[in-house]
Amino acid sequence: MAGSHAPLIARNLGGTLARIGPMRLIAIGLCVAAMAAPAALAKGGIAVKPGDGTPGVGQPFTVYVRTGYVVPADDWVRLIAVAPGKDWYDVVGTVTGDSARARANVPHDGFEIELTRTGQHTWRAVVRLPRVGRWRLVVPNGTHAGFMVPPPSAWMPWIRVHA
C-alpha cells in the first residue's frame, strides 16, 4: 500500500516545483549557500601576508600565513600561485584535484607552493615567481582538502612581479 502512494507523491512534488518557478528555486539556492558560507568560515580567519608585494622575476620573497585557529598536527594549509591572466578556479581545481571541470596547464598556469609550519597558527613559504605580471596567491581552504568558491579575498592577495 505504501508503494502505491509513491507515484502520487512524485507527481505532487513535480507540480510543486513547477509552481515554485526557476527564479524562486535560484533564490532558495542562494539562501542555502548564504547559510553554509558562515559555517565554512566559522573556524576563524586566515591572513596571507607577502613580505614583498613587488618582487622581481625569480627573486625569492617570503609569504606568511596566519590562521585564526589551530590547524591539527595531521592537517595542513595549502598555498597556490596563479599566473597572470589565468583563472584561479581552473588552477586551484587542477592543483588540488578537487574539480573535474578545472583545466590548467600546471606549472605554467600556476603551481602549489610548499608551506612550512612555524607555529600552531603560523606558516611560512619562500616563493619565486617565474614571469612578469600580476600573480595571485591563493589559500583555497582552511585545510588541505578541497577549496571554497570563491575563497575570501583576504586569502587571495595579488603580487606584481617586475623584470
Residue 6, exposed/middle/buried by CB under 10 A (0-12, 13-18, 19+)?
exposed
Name beta bridge partners: 112: 80
Q: Let me know whether 28 and 48 are in one domain.
A: no
pLDDT over 90 (residue 158): yes
* 128 shares a domain with 66: yes
Same domain, 128 and 51: yes
Spatial separation of the C-alpha atoms in residues 79 and 89, rounded to whole Å: 14
Regarding whether 106 and 33 lie in a shared domain, the answer is no
Inform me whether the pLDDT recorded for 10 exceeds 90: no
Q: Say yes or no: 19 and 72 in one domain.
A: no
Look up the CATH number of the domain holding residue 55: 2.60.40.10
pLDDT at 36: 39
Do residues 62 and 123 make contact, with C-beta atoms less than 8 angstroms apart?
no
Hey, which bits of the chain come out as E strands?
46-50, 61-67, 79-82, 110-113, 116-117, 122-127, 133-138, 158-161
Question: 157 and 82, same structural domain?
Answer: yes
pLDDT in tens, 50-82: 999 899 999 999 999 999 999 999 999 999 999
Which helix (DSSP H) or strand (DSSP E) does residue 34 occupy?
Answer: helix 22-41
When divided into structural domains, the chain yields a total of 2
**pTM for this prediction:** 0.72
In a shared domain, residues 90 and 137: yes
Which of 11-25, 50-64, 147-161 has maximum average pLDDT?
50-64
Q: Which domain holds residue 154?
A: 44-161
**Same structural domain, 152 and 83:** yes
Terminal C-alpha separation, the chain: 76
Q: Are residues 26 and 65 in the same domain?
A: no
